[in-house]
Chains A and B, each alone.
Chain A
Amino acid sequence: MPDRLKPGHDAHRGGWTRRSVLGALCATGLAGSRAIAATATTAPLRFGLTPVFLDSDTDLLAALERYLSVQLARPVVLVKRRSYQEITTLLLTGQLDAAWICGFPYVQFRSQLALVAVPVYRGQPLYQSYVIVHEGDPAAALGDLRGQVHAFSDPDSNSGFLVTRYLLATMKETPASFFRRSFFTYGHRNVVRAVASGLAQSGSVDGYVWDVMTEIEPDLVVRTRVLHRSKLLGFPPVACQAARLGTPLVRDLREALVGMPEDATGREMLRLLRLDGFAVSEPSLFDGIAAMYDHVRTQS
């Protein structure tokens, strides 16, 4: 049993109650009871989510909430908004304790945000951005997409916007000048749907999300094809306000995330997420994204 679940560990949060002891005893097997018991005494963890992963999977969200509430011995409120910007704003204004955001907002607000943990995917905390086209599209390179309709994920998404914008910038182009039309779908899965249905001829999508979707929604993904893979970039991290990095809550959250492979529910979570685990990482992991951001900014 982790230290934070021992009676002595919990004592500093406001003392023992009969309910919290009962909740602690049930923690390993009866997560629900524990969460209900904790509601009465402990402030909830407000955890922000963005479509950096398949946030449409309700089973996954329920498992995440269950896992974190048990590990942190407190209720967990998962907060979702339509855009990255809304979650980033909530995080920056202290309305969220932590959030799973994209590397691009992290780079944009690096001075105000701190890394809690970074997912490890295929052995490293890195992923790629894909430019995808419809399966029958004859395009062979990015340049062939000129004049088409393009689907972006989110204006604050690294893989779903920044990478493609950076690639166009290297060609002295902008989305407006290069594409006939472009629009945001506010979700990587939506980008795949837009391209698969023919609404857009091409799209910018998170490579990790696209890979996972090939397993769970092969019928949809098979109608798309990867045209371009970016270099490896820092995986969307779990971040918090820089000021809160040392707080017990954030420390516990980091422990819970990093310790996920050691717990049965955590392992199930990781299996659903197709991740190896979470790791503590340095801000330099996102230098590649920062460099692209700088390039785009200077271009515009």
Chain B
Amino acid sequence: MDFSVLLTDIPTLAIVIVGVPAVLGAYIVGGEYLVRLLPDGSRPAVRPWIWVGPALIIVGVFLVYPVFGTLWRSFFDSSGNNFVGLDNYANQLSGFPNGNAWIAIRNNVYWLILFTLLVLFFGLLFAVLTDRVPYESPIKSLIFMPMAISFVALSVIWLFMYSYQQPGDPQTGTMNAILQVFHHDPVTWVQDPKIATFALIAAGIWGFVGFAMVILSAALKGIPGDLLEAARVDGAGEITIFRRVIFPLMMPTIVVVGTTLVIFALKAFDIVYVMTGGNYDTDVLANRMYKLAFQSPFENGLSSAVAIILVVAVVPVLVFNLRQFRAVEARR
């Protein structure tokens, strides 16, 4: 490996590391300075836009603009020239329960429920349990490791885990080796349409628990120690403390992590794309959208309709968030 490039290009990297934060810092300090030049009364009206402005502009360009483009294209045929109304949606949503987008929708529902709840459960479990042992740091690092792995490596790991050999031959995959110990015939985890989606979800859960654990653990550390100690002095058991003190205080963070996981479950793509490509009834909406858009004959209208279905599916989650948001607001 030739690392000489690291030496020659380190000045470039240094300029970037110093320059980027400098530009950003200068922006906010300069912006605030300009606000102070304004008359007292108009400051509260202008100031927030200085603070949210960069975010809104960048998100506007990179997400809002393409979403409106997608919405627009979803009303046109694949050539993009002929307006077809809601035909693309009707096409994708016809053929219930097994036609067109429905297998993908069904699988997204599985992802939504199993991935979200189990990642949240294990994340909370690890955050709470490791908080009570002196070797917290190494344990958390081990649980976190799958997060640091790319999806390609993650799929390599799980294809090893799920690998199948004929009954009677030595099994090379961990899962089938365990079945062999119990004298059970090996299973084709990823090729059997009845279980393949669940096998992929399991790999996803394994890869994502570190995410929930880190954020929930950060929230847990934010709960003042004296509050817990006071409860203990009052004679509350650990389970009561968890239910009555820890859980309610962590609720806003659990909602954030849960919301993010729901959205990740809706967007599930990489694992499916790499491991099965949607074969064996494992397709999901994001993968379907990708195939429609980028594979000849390039069904841009249909693909856009799938993308919009996916975005619209988060609306209930947003409503729930709004309530949560208002509740926190009201409490203070």
State whether these chains interact.
no
